[in-house]
Amino acid sequence: MINALKLFLVISIQIAVAGCASVSASEEEMYEKASALTKLTGMVEVIVVYSDESSRLSDAELIEEATAHDPTVLDQFENYDLRASRADGHAVVTMCDANGSEALLQDLGCTAELDTHYWKTELQEPCATEQVNAPTCR
């Protein structure tokens, strides 16, 4: 009976640890992506604010132009869909899931911190740069 109790206890602890580890890994990955996204958004912000051509560039072209000098920045987002646009003369970059249906992170170029962690909310937000859920840049 004592051996069965010990076995049950060991298995319970392993399940609990494995469950916590997978949640932490997911959170850790999202925080790493958030850090990388703020760097990318800063690069897009430079193009939006200082390039006369930026108004003619598509989402993909904005990101391509911003990372032309260092395309390795995009390696962090290999399995994600990135969207970039402009709002009030500033960059907005949204990181979405791989198929582009759900927003996970959104950053405005005029703020220092990442603006919206959609992955933390229970609601699934559509992947769009038009929805800016942060204070307006002024």
What is the pLDDT averaged over residues 36-56? 94
- Residue 80 maps to a domain: yes
- Residue 69 maps to a domain: yes
Q: Which structural domain range is residue 100 located in?
A: 25-120
- Residue 133 maps to a domain: no
* Beta strands, E only, the chain: 81-87, 90-96, 103-108, 116-117
Backbone angles phi, psi at 135, to 5 degrees: -55, 140
- Residue 17 maps to a domain: no
Q: How many domains does the chain have?
A: 1
- Residue 16 maps to a domain: no
Residues 6+ apart with CB under 8 A from 8: none
- Residue 137 maps to a domain: no
- Residue 78 maps to a domain: yes
Rounded Cα–Cα distance for residues 118 and 66 (Å): 24
Question: For residue 20, what pLDDT band results from cuts at 50, 70 and 90?
Answer: very low
Per-residue pLDDT, 8: 45
Q: What is the rounded average pLDDT for all residues in the chain?
A: 82
Q: Please give the DSSP secondary-structure letter assigned to residue 51.
A: -
What token pair was written down for 81?
A: 């869909």
